[in-house]
Chains A and B, each alone.
Chain A
Amino acid sequence: MQSIRIALAQIAPRLGQLDENLARHHELIGEARGRGAGLVVFPELGLTGYLLQDLAADVAMRLDDPRLADLAGATAGMSAVVSFVEESADHRLFIAAALLEDGAIRHVHRKVFLPTYGLFDERRFFAAGDVLRAVPSRLGLGVGLAVCEDFWHLPVPQLLALDGAQLLVNVSSSPGRDLAATNEVGLGTATSWRTLMRTYAQLTTSFVVFCNRVGVDESISFWGGSEVIAPTGDVLFRAPLYDEGLFDVEVAPGDVRRERIALPLLRDERPELQLRELTRIVAERAGMAPDSTAEDGAEPGLDVRPAEAEHGGRPIGFGSRAR
């Protein structure tokens, strides 16, 4: 199997400047093609900038938008992952990542997990996606797309791998924070992400491509540090922190087969067991079924009774554990 050159476009999108960002994407797709890249990956909301707030509606595109068709048109003979605000026919706004291949939009992933805590406020402005799908790619590999926070939820990489992904692509706008000197490379965010990426690559025995933006939106600085990890968990490439650039790295698709034979974790997964247990847990967490392993008086979803114990009867509907 031939090697694939992956180009990481670690860019600093201009907030709300769709035309300018589109032009930059065209330019970098051209440059990646010139370097022989089979795949070029752009960060989350690379076409619009991240901290949009009420600007989101102004820069949203429908999937039939001619500007997207134009961008897809630039991918003859190659693949690209781009990200933008997608407006659905019923006018919901999604943070979307699209796989563009051979001139067409091959697949669109709508960000499933929208962080709305700490410095994030995504759920206020965006709708959450409902679908996770791995798709075949002209690269000869199954591709699973995810956007930033999607990878802070364990099931996402696993579901994508079980669905056939051999190459997991996470596009991000991750704000750097926690500069404590004790952190790896002096940045808490980088330490966390690096741990996650290596873990996912290893556990799913897949390539993991992480493309994170750089630059500044308002108060927050995005730290870059884009990576490509092998199915063994080995780091194949790490882009510098905070530097803008187009970085490319060669990967050998044969590594997936070798690793999955040597370490057959996916073979040994038990999705049917997960499904069974999840079905039970969902019912118990909703208080719709008794939890056979919980202590008396425990809240639905918890096994341990609260320390203060003996509170009176629960309102109807809040746990059906009364025996």
Chain B
Amino acid sequence: MTAAATEPLFELPPELAIDTDVARRVIAEFIRGQLRQAGFERAVLGLSGGIDSALVAYLTAEAIGDERLLCVLMPYRTSSPESRRDAELVVAQLGAASEVVEITPMVDGFFGLDGSAGAAGETGLEASSLRRGNFAARMRMAVLYDRSVTWGGLVVGTGNKTEALIGYTTIFGDSACAFNPIGDLYKSQVRQLSAAMGVPEAIIRKAPSADLWPGQTDEGEGGFSYPLLDRMLYWRIDRRRSTEEMEALGFDPALVARVDRMIAASEFKRQVPPIAKLGPRTAGVDYLYPRRRPGSARG
């Protein structure tokens, strides 16, 4: 046996373990329900080669059939070839339709390339990796919503609960979608469900990365491991533990304080923007309807 084979596929904190059969069942019904209520039969998603979008691809294919799913691979010139290879592995295993849309000309056309300015002007050449990363995420969103029309399918979200809570997302970028099947699953639970669904081992094992620059990893950037972060979020949010109780549970108070700040600072990313209340009835305030109701399915 190789070392890799003896190493556990992933670390799953016991309190986060879910019943994956129930999760699969609920999520499949959820996906079918969302599509039916909107009058769609097909779905489209951005497949990065990472575990989140791979899992959503498996879940969607299981819910509606691989023939109704379009996976769009949207590499940028600095994206890792390994990501591309892993995404292609998912497509091959599922037998779903796929398409590669390079976003390089879109991103470089804006920020410029090799000293020649793009639409953003001279200063664009100096853009930080944060600006570039956000812009790339929004270009991918734009591609997916275009393919939503050409493929005739709804855009399925692929963001997990951990990144949504700490705000490790791009608003109107990777978080944009018609519905999200895994947004209430922590990263550790994404791994557990991925293993149960047969997502390729290589994808489950590799270090999560936004793949904005070579060698970048989420855990390297954030400074904590996902199992630890997931446990903190679980006890703090789902189980409503106070800061004192968190410390009693063995969490570092400084880390708890830091995570608390990240959660509070990203509240805006998880909510619909507020509308100034002026008229008698205002969407989201006192005009409250289900997103999908009689008449809202496309004809």
**Bound together:** yes
* In the bound complex, CA of A219 to CA of B291 (Å): 10
Any chain B CB within 8 A of the CB of A22?
no
| B: contact size bracket | 20 to 34
* A-facing residues in B237-272 (Cβ within 8 Å): none
Contact B290 A186 (CB under 8 A): no
Q: Tell whether A181 pairs with B290 under 8 Å between CB atoms, given A176-B26, A215-B29, A216-B33.
A: no
A116 CB contacts on chain B under 8 angstroms: none
Any chain A CB within 8 A of the CB of B18?
yes
* In the bound complex, CA of A220 to CA of B22 (Å): 14
B29 CB contacts on chain A under 8 angstroms: 214-216, 221, 242
Return the 6 tightest CB-CB contacts between A and B, nearest first.
Answer: A186-B19, A216-B33, A181-B17, A186-B22, A179-B18, A53-B288
A residues with CB within 8 A of B: 15-17, 51-55, 176, 179-183, 185-187, 214-219, 221, 241-242
* A-facing residues in B6-24 (Cβ within 8 Å): 15, 17-19, 21-23
20 contacts between A and B (CB under 8 A): A15-B293, A16-B293, A51-B290, A54-B289, A55-B290, A176-B22, A176-B26, A179-B18, A179-B23, A180-B17, A181-B19, A185-B19, A186-B18, A186-B19, A186-B22, A187-B22, A216-B33, A218-B291, A221-B29, A241-B22
Partner of B25, one of A53, A217, A218, A242: A242
* In the bound complex, CA of A186 to CA of B291 (Å): 29
B28-41 contact mask (Cβ, 8 Å, vs A): 1 or 0: 01101110010000
A54 CB contacts on chain B under 8 angstroms: 287-289
A176 CB contacts on chain B under 8 angstroms: 22, 26
Q: Tell whether A217 pairs with B290 under 8 Å between CB atoms, given A180-B15, A185-B19, A186-B21.
A: yes
Query: B22: nearest residue on chain A (CB-CB)?
Result: A186
Contact B18 A15 (CB under 8 A): no
Partner of A216, one of B17, B30, B289: B30
Contact B19 A187 (CB under 8 A): yes
Q: Nearest chain A CB to B196's CB is how many angstroms away?
A: 11
* A-facing residues in B260-299 (Cβ within 8 Å): 287-294
B290 CB contacts on chain A under 8 angstroms: 15-16, 51-53, 55, 217-218
